[in-house]
Amino acid sequence: MHELGIATEIVNATVKAAAAHGAERVSAVAVEVGALQLVDVEALCAAFAAAAAGTLAAGARLDVREVPLQAVCRVCGTTYAPAIDDYQCPRCHAADPEFVAGNDIMLMSIDLETAEEQQGEPH
C-alpha cells in the first residue's frame, strides 16, 4: 500500500509548513494526484488520517483532485490521453510518450489556523 508512504510525505510537508507559519492547527490539505501514480483515493485519505494522528494535521480534511493522464508523442507530436495500460499514439501508433500531465503528486494548498483564529479574534 504505497498510499501510506505518500500520506506520510504529505503530512510531513504539511506539518513543516504549519510550523514555519506559526500555525496551531491544520484544517485542510489539498493535493493533486496524477492517474499514473495509481493511487486509491479512499486508501490515501485513510492513510492521511492515520499519519496525521498526533500532529498539527490531526483531524484535517484531505481534498484530493485526480489529474488525468496526458501525453505528447515523441515521434509525431500528437497530444493524447493514453490509457494506463496502453501508451500507443492514436495517430502514428508509436509507444513513446512524454507525459505532460497525470504523473505527479502535488501539494496544492494547506489551510492553517493560528492561535488568534482559534480564539475567535479577527486578524
CATH of residue 27: 3.30.2320.50
3-state secondary structure of 58: coil
Number of domains in the chain: 1
User: Taking residues 61-80, what's their average pLDDT?
Assistant: 98
As a whole number of angstroms, the distance between CA 63 and CA 114 comes to 21
Q: How high is the mean pLDDT of the chain?
A: 94
Does residue 82 lie in a domain region?
Answer: no
Does residue 17 lie in a domain region?
Answer: yes
Does residue 13 lie in a domain region?
Answer: yes
Does residue 47 lie in a domain region?
Answer: yes
Query: What's the pLDDT score for residue 114?
Result: 84
Task: State the DSSP string of 3-35.
Answer: HHHHHHHHHHHHHHHHHHTT-SEEEEEEEEEEG
Domain extent, residue 26, equals 3-67+103-117
- Residue 119 pLDDT more than 50? yes
Summarize pLDDT for 82-105 with one digit per residue, the tens: 999 999 999 999 999 999 999 999
Query: What's the pLDDT score for residue 78?
Result: 98
